[in-house]
Amino acid sequence: MPRHDRATFKNKREIFDHRRELTRPNTMVEDDLKNLSMYAFWRLFDVVKGKLVRKQKEQFVALSGTGWAKHAKYAQSCEKHTEYCKRTMLAYMPCPGLEGTSYIVRSVNEHFENCWPLALWRFVMDPKQRWCPTWIVRNYEVLNHVIHGLPQLSGLPAPCPSSSTVHPDENALTRFPHEKASNVKFKFAPDTRIGEPKADELADADDPTVLLDRTSDLKADCCTFRPWRQ
């Protein structure tokens, strides 16, 4: 291995960003690699020993590392939500030509003031958007009480980098869709009981004098039996 060569393997994002450098078969042209998202690229192609291979049958592709589904809920200055938005955009937003994910970073920085929550909101709410998967849209709708393609009817306005759009009291917000249609309410009284017995109760149970008293009571009862029971 040459002295300045890399000792580790490239990750999925790095391979996608440098897909033009991969060896292609004769049946594949450069235009096949243009205008794709990272998710679409790995759904259509595979890389075996540095060579591009077109997948012949549909396979399920899972992108791990984008974050938990609950991180899609918008909250101001939430690092987990911001990271979720960034990773989701890098995974599903298409890159023009043979551009890589650096194009997405530049676009968010220029057009959305480096606000990833706002970029994801536009990506999900755009009615003409076809690159955002349905499970991402549905999860975002449920957690943020919005409707895809109808921002004017949504409960949550577009996140703004300079102002907060989060309700001051999170408990006042509905937790799931159609919650107001349910009339069932549950109230739980505070339970002051504890699962383990108290220390004095344990001491009473282990006190040998208690057993002696019970034995004397039994003897007294035996002495008071009627003759016909003896």
Convert the pLDDT of each residue in 135-149 to its tens digit.
Answer: 899 999 888 888 887
pLDDT < 50 positions in the chain: 163-176, 195, 202, 211, 218, 225, 228-230
The encoded tokens of residue 65 equal: 């590392």
Let me know whether 47 and 74 are in one domain: no
Residue ending a domain, choose from 159, 190, 223? 159
- Record the pTM: 0.63
Q: What local confidence, expressed as pLDDT, does residue 161 receive?
A: 64
Task: Tell me the C-alpha distance between 57 and 60, whole Å.
Answer: 10
CA atoms of 165 and 144, how far apart (whole Å): 11
Q: Are strands 51-54 and 45-48 parallel, antiparallel or unpaired?
A: antiparallel
Query: Which pLDDT belongs to residue 57?
Result: 76
Q: How much helix, strand and coil, in percent to the nearest 5, is found in the chain?
A: 45, 5, 50
The per-residue pLDDT for 38 is: 92
Please report whether residue 5 resides in a domain.
no
Do 92 and 131 contact (CB within 8 A), yes or no? yes
Q: What is the mean pLDDT of the chain?
A: 75
Boundary-marking domain end, from 99, 128, 159: 159
- Phi then psi for residue 48, to 5 deg, are -120, 115
Instruction: For residue 183, tell me if it sits in a domain.
Output: no
Give residues with Cβ within 8 angstroms of 101, minimum separation 6: 13, 16, 17, 38, 90, 95
Q: Where are the alpha helices (DSSP H) in the chain?
A: 12-17, 38-44, 79-92, 101-111, 116-125, 134-144, 199-205, 208-223
Strand partners, 46: 53
pLDDT at 193: 52
Q: Domain ends where: 159, 191, 208?
A: 159
32 Cβ contact partners less than 8 Å away, ≥ 6 residues apart: none
CA distances from 224 to 210, 215, 227 (A): 22, 15, 9
Residues 75, 31: one domain?
no
Per-residue pLDDT at 89:
94
Task: Name the residue range of residue 42's domain.
Answer: 12-54
How far apart CA 129 and CA 124 sit, in angstroms, is 7
